[in-house]
């Protein structure tokens, strides 16, 4: 497919033109109930919990697929020290167990068929290429959980989904923040008064990252994962603009909500935004920055109530950018359900 793409330059131009109209090829990982007949599978992905003990996490028919799951789990910052092994051992999957599904599809195609047609034809494509973009959806089962616990399945899907985004290493995150600082320095030299105040803020962010302990580093690393992904989807300039708005609003002393949620819950919230097909990539990264501000206290009052009630108050426009926060409303029912599970723990 896409025979009209002859070289790297054409491929990059094609990708850029599609991105400009909000169309992107994305891969997501979801937990879905297995509804087929009971069947046997050959391999197990196990977590070593002691010298002689292993816990089975995921089972599957294909060893390579389980190796992919293993790599993604170890790429998720809180799980980077997990000792995972794959062994050949038969297991049985029953109806009602959960599976991790990898789905690759073009997103953002709704309502822009004319624009897609124009882009493809400009670069020498045909009707088959247009149909491929509009209808492409490839999926496969990465593995099965020997469990009918939907909450556990969703947790593993969130971990794998985030790990698959090629997370930033500690050094790469420092480099990313350094780029932000350099961009602010350049604009400051060109006479931009606002950027002059941002140079010190980005420097503070760099120092914060270097000084963070492992748990806090994991939290920042997760946010770095999405920063890296969406820099490719919406462009570096827009990411810099969002980062500047965020860093001017946030004092880098983490607010009570972040401190009271573990890193798995935080990641679950981000991944819900990342997989929300109701939002374009641009609106998703805006929602991610809105959530970052909520977790860090943001420009709103320091909150001492439950997370859910604070989110409800922020949705009335008290957040610095009501447009960004309004994107959260489209996934808010999911947030509220996830957050209210924690209310009793947080009181």
Token pair 């493809």 in the structure block, residue: 120
pLDDT at 319: 42
User: Are the C-beta atoms of 86 and 94 separated by less than 8 Å?
Assistant: no
Which residues, 6+ apart, have CB-to-CB distance to 32 below 8 Å? Answer: 98, 99, 101
Pairing of strands 54-60, 39-48: antiparallel
pLDDT exceeds cutoff 50 at 251: no
pLDDT at 33: 95
Give 1's pLDDT tier (boundaries 50, 70, 90). Answer: low
Lowest mean pLDDT, pick from 5-19, 95-109, 237-251: 237-251
Pairing of strands 98-107, 24-33: antiparallel
Highest mean pLDDT among 37-46, 135-144, 312-321, 329-338: 37-46
Lowest mean pLDDT, pick from 70-79, 135-144, 191-200, 336-345: 336-345
Phi (first) and psi of residue 13, to 5 degrees:
-65, -40
Question: Which residue would you say has higher pLDDT here, 5 or 124?
Answer: 124
Task: Give the residue from 210, 228, 212 showing the smallest Cα distance to 167.
Answer: 228
pLDDT at 133: 83
pLDDT at 306: 41
d(CA 290, CA 276): 15
DSSP-based helix, strand, coil % in the chain, nearest 5: 60, 15, 25
For 102-130, the pLDDT digits (tens) are 988 887 787 888 888 888 888 888 888 88
For 173-208, the pLDDT digits (tens) are 677 677 777 877 877 787 766 566 667 767 766 776
The residues spanned by each domain of the chain are 8-163, 170-346
> In the structure, how many helices (H) and strands (E) does the chain have?
16, 6
User: Are the C-beta atoms of 264 and 155 separated by less than 8 Å?
Assistant: yes
Question: 74: which 2 tokens?
Answer: 């170890």
pLDDT exceeds cutoff 60 at 40: yes
Secondary structure of residue 146 in the 3-state scheme: coil
For 256-300, the pLDDT digits (tens) are 456 666 777 778 888 888 888 778 888 888 888 878 777 765 433
pLDDT > 70: what percent of the chain? 67
pLDDT at 98: 95
| pTM metric for this prediction | 0.64
pLDDT at 43: 96
pLDDT exceeds cutoff 50 at 301: no
């Amino acid at each position: 497919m896409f025979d009209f793409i002859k070289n790297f330059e054409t491929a990059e131009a094609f990708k850029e033109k599609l991105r400009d109209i909000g169309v992107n090829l994305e891969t997501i990982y979801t937990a879905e109930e297995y509804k087929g007949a009971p069947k046997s599978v050959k391999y197990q992905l196990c977590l070593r919990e002691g010298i002689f003990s292993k816990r089975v996490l995921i089972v599957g028919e294909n060893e390579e697929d389980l190796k992919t799951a293993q790599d993604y789990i170890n790429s998720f910052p809180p799980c980077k020290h997990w000792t995972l092994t794959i062994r050949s051992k038969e297991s049985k999957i029953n109806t009602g167990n959960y599976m991790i599904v990898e789905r690759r599809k073009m997103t953002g195609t709704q309502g822009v068929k004319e624009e897609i047609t124009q882009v493809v034809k400009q670069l020498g494509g045909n009707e088959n290429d247009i149909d491929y973009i509009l209808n492409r959806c490839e999926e496969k089962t990465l593995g099965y959980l020997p469990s009918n616990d939907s909450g556990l399945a969703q947790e593993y899907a969130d971990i794998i989904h985030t790990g698959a985004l090629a997370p930033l290493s500690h050094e790469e995150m420092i480099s990313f923040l350094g780029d932000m600082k350099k961009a602010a320095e350049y604009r400051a030299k060109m006479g931009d008064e606002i950027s002059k105040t941002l140079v010190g803020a980005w420097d503070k962010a760099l120092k914060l990252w270097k000084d963070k302990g492992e748990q806090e580093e994991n939290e920042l690393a997760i946010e770095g994962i999405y920063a890296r992904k969406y820099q490719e989807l919406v462009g570096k300039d827009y990411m810099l603009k969002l980062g500047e708005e965020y860093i001017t609003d946030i004092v880098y002393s983490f607010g009570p909500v972040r401190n009271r949620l573990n890193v798995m819950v935080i990641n679950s919230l981000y991944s819900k935004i990342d997989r929300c097909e109701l939002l374009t990539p641009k609106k998703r990264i805006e929602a991610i920055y809105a959530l970052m501000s909520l977790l860090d206290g943001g420009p709103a009052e320091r909150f001492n109530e439950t997370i859910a009630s604070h989110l409800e108050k922020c949705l009335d426009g008290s957040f610095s950018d009501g447009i960004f926060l309004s994107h959260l409303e489209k996934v808010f029912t999911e947030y509220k359900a996830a957050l209210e599970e924690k209310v009793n723990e947080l009181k």
